[in-house]
């Protein structure tokens, strides 16, 4: 599965499961892609910023949607 073109594929996402240190996933995460990203990469944590902002300010609607989209087993 390719969530972000040229960034994550099934082939290179498997590397995260071989790491012995915690992996934080960052970059371009939004409510529409976070569930797939967590399923593919299985990160220790998430770093979010621009995907939950509007006009450089945190957007409560986007934040709620983002956290609602994270699968319960990943939370």
Tens-of-pLDDT digits for all 75 residues of the chain? 444 444 555 556 667 677 788 888 888 899 999 998 888 888 889 998 889 999 999 999 999 999 999 988 665
In a domain, 9, yes or no: no
* Percent of the chain that is helix, strand, coil (3-state, to 5): 45, 15, 45
> What residue numbers bound the domain in which 33 lies?
24-74
Structure tokens at 17: 């499961």
Structurally, the chain folds into a number of domains equal to 1
In a domain, 47, yes or no: yes
In a domain, 5, yes or no: no
Helix (H) or strand (E) holding 39: helix 34-41
């Amino acid at each position: 599965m390719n969530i972000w073109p040229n960034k994550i594929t099934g082939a290179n996402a498997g590397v995260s499961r071989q790491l012995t240190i915690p992996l934080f996933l960052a970059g371009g995460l939004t409510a529409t892609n976070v569930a797939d990203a967590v399923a593919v990469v299985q990160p220790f944590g998430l770093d979010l910023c621009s995907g939950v902002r509007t006009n450089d300010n945190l957007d409560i609607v986007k934040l709620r949607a983002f956290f609602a989209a994270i699968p319960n087993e990943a939370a």
